[in-house]
Amino acid sequence: MADEMVLATQKWLNKTYGHIPEFNQPNEDGLTGWPTIYALIEGLQVELGVAPSDLFPGFGDTTYTLYDQLITPNWNNLSKNVVYLIQGAFWCKGISPGGFDGVQTQALSDAVAALQEDAGFSNTNGVLSAMWAQALFDMSAFVLLDDPRIREMQQYLNANYYNYTGILPTDGIYQRATNTAIIYALQKEVGLDVETANGVFGPTTRDLYVEAYNNNWSNALSMIIQFGLYANMSEFWEVAGTPAPEFTGVLDGPTTEGLHLFQDFMRLAPVTDGSPDLRTAWSLMTSNGDPNRNFFGVDTSLQLTQQNIDDLVAFDVNYVGRYLTGTVGVGENEKDKFLTRAEAENIIKAGLKIIPIYQDNYPHAEYYTRQQGRKDAATAMFTAAKLGIPDQSFIYFAVDFDALDTDIDNWVMPYFQGVREVLTSSEYEFTYKPAVYGTRNVCTRIHDDVGIERSYVSNMSSGWSGNLGFSQPLSWAFDQFFESSYGSISAIDFVAVSGLDEAVSHLEPSSEIGEGYWIDQTNWDWLKDPFHAGSIKVDGPSWTLFDYPGIMKAEVSVSSEVKGDPNATFILEIESGKLTPSSFEAVTKTLGKDLGVVTANKLNEMSIGIANAQMEVSAAIDLEGLATWRITITFPDTDIEEVKVANSIEIELSFDFDSSTPEGNMQLAFNAIKLYCKENALAASIIGASGLALVISFLPWATLGVSIVEKGTELLALAKLLMPAFGRKKDED
């Protein structure tokens, strides 16, 4: 909702500084956002004497220094424009400075005091120094938006460690800055000065922590440990219905019990039970923790030799994460990473268990769509079945990038909805359980919002925002925390194991998936018969379904590759033997109610038996009157070792509209369809797909010797629907 004071601020900024070419003018919409904050900062820089060419939308070191030199000492005698800027910043923050008039009053000092109090300071002075101005000229919130316990933590850190951290938001949202501030606080308490502390739990900090733990423990360190404990276990206590330890600054009974629960939940060992020893504190401060702790799992992209497997046995691990498909590396360094049946047998024979992982994608948000999830799930399912992975095993689908909440909402959640739909579908002869690999935030969100039961947490990426400040997921089965090597294995990740997933301890006989797996699920006898007779071959030449010279011709080809039609004018999704609701709606909207419903139903007839596919349609009429419809049906990529599965089918249907051959009803139908298609290119592509289903119905008649012209009455029925639609369009024109 627009705010009139924010709008007044935006108008004043543009009026006052809009003549400066380098100034970034905000939209005058009354909405607080970064563009308005940036404009306020640049306006402040102008008042501080920064050259126009040096204006920068950030409150950096130069702005900070100039502010403390020119404004802080003169707080009671500010220029009118500086007052305007500070008042505008307060309105954007949601705190009233008394007005927007460039007049400095007690109300402005009261606003500063309110900001200081919200930030956690009990002794307020009402003076906006550079430290406070940096917090004000920012989008950080200082009112409670989420968890009051987190806000209590943030306010304590501000009040006690602001020299190290600056002023943090106190909105109750645990974020990267909060996590870093806890480490800064710990560094201060173990003896690091402001110049040395860096917010990283590194070797120096760890050494000093051990010294403090053994000889110089303090209440402040107890408080910091309690902060870390709450941040890492908040979901645990919420689900358990047990109150978390209070922030007392004392290693009291609830705190030591909380530490014991944390150590057990994270499977930390060896540790001093219920004590904040180094290994425990390390996991409280960072998502990856101590790489030297005990673990019982590994994962690798390497195809394991017998020597590799023997080394893993010697390494005393029990679980091996392996990829079902794909390659790793690029160019001459590209290598296969997919698990083979022989490798799987050797792993199982050695007494190890397999964790199936699917990642054959690019790590960016836009990859993750619902349809892609369905395709990936089908590929993973068939590959697992071919390997002999038992039914009901978990397969972990990777989200290998730092997904923000917006990415999860818009992309990752639909992807896993698609994955779940396929893996839990009764339409397939194989059934596996969907699981997620990703950051703590991804794993928790996908578990809570999509119902994915198990998580493989990428805690190794300790700097990712999805790990900073998020609790370890309650659904965690595996915890990837360190990259290393061992023996003959050049690249391996260490993985903690919770025991929630027993993984794969035996193999079933390989499921045989033939070339015609997808074709056999359809009701297309017109395709099945010549395919199994050998007339149509995977990756072979096109085959003529029928050819009525001067009238129409249909050809079909089958490919093992997942092919798309770059000229497609319409793309339809097929699920569970019919068009998806969105595709059905698209057809009816494009063609109108009457023709759209008829066409969509005809396409549904053609889709019977298809569990999951995409139909792409293109249409063209050349100068000679030859119309060509191309229908490409793409199934989930089923990449099976040593078997060329028919993953896509391309059908070309040609009509010779200018031929004199058609007579009677057929000629009337041709003329109507030709006219409609020339005037309605997009609609024509859908008509082509529907027409294919209609023409296919001619095939049994043709084999019985019935003339194609005798079937013109059926094609005319379609034409009669087209003609009124075309006529209405002409009348409207």
pLDDT tens for residues 20-39?
999 999 999 999 999 999 99
pLDDT of the residue at 609: 76
Which amino acid is it at 382? F
Q: What is the pTM of this model?
A: 0.79
The separation between CA 62 and the C-alpha centre of its own chain, rounded to angstroms, equals 38
pLDDT, residue 113, reads 97
Query: For position 708, what pLDDT does the model report?
Result: 40
- Residue pLDDT, tens place only, 314-345: 999 999 999 999 888 888 888 899 999 999 99
Q: Among residues 598, 570, 602, which one has the least CA distance to residue 684?
A: 570
Q: Which fold has domain 337-351+363-497?
A: TIM Barrel (3.20.20)
Taking only the tens place, the pLDDT of each residue in 554-564 is 888 998 887 66
Domain boundaries, the chain: 1-139, 337-351+363-497, 517-732
Rounded to the nearest 5°, which phi and psi values hold at 406?
Answer: -65, -35
Q: Which residues contact 429 (CB under 8 A, 6 or more apart)?
A: 385, 511
Mean pLDDT of 243-271: 96
List the one residue out of 560, 559, 531 whose CA is nearest residue 545.
531
Residue 24's identity, in one-letter code, is N
Residues with Cβ within 8 Å of residue 4, at least 6 apart in sequence: 30
702 pLDDT band, cuts 50/70/90, is very low
69, pLDDT greater than 50: yes
Alpha-carbon gap, residue 379 to 176, rounded angstroms = 37
Mean pLDDT highest for which of 579-588, 597-606, 675-684, 708-717? 579-588
User: Cβ neighbours of residue 612 under 8 Å, at least 6 residues apart?
Assistant: 374, 375, 378, 422, 574, 575, 635, 636
Across 632-658, average pLDDT: 74
Does the structure show a pLDDT above 50 at 255? yes
Q: Can you tell me the mean pLDDT for 374-388? A: 89
pLDDT at 618: 75
- Which stretches within 570-703 are classed as H helix? 581-591, 593-607, 664-679, 681-696, 698-703
Q: Pick the closest to residue 39 from 171, 139, 174, 188 (CA basis).
A: 139
Mean pLDDT (whole number) for 174-197: 96
What's the confidence (pLDDT) of residue 573? 85
pLDDT digits (tens, 9 = 90+) for 539-550: 899 988 777 676
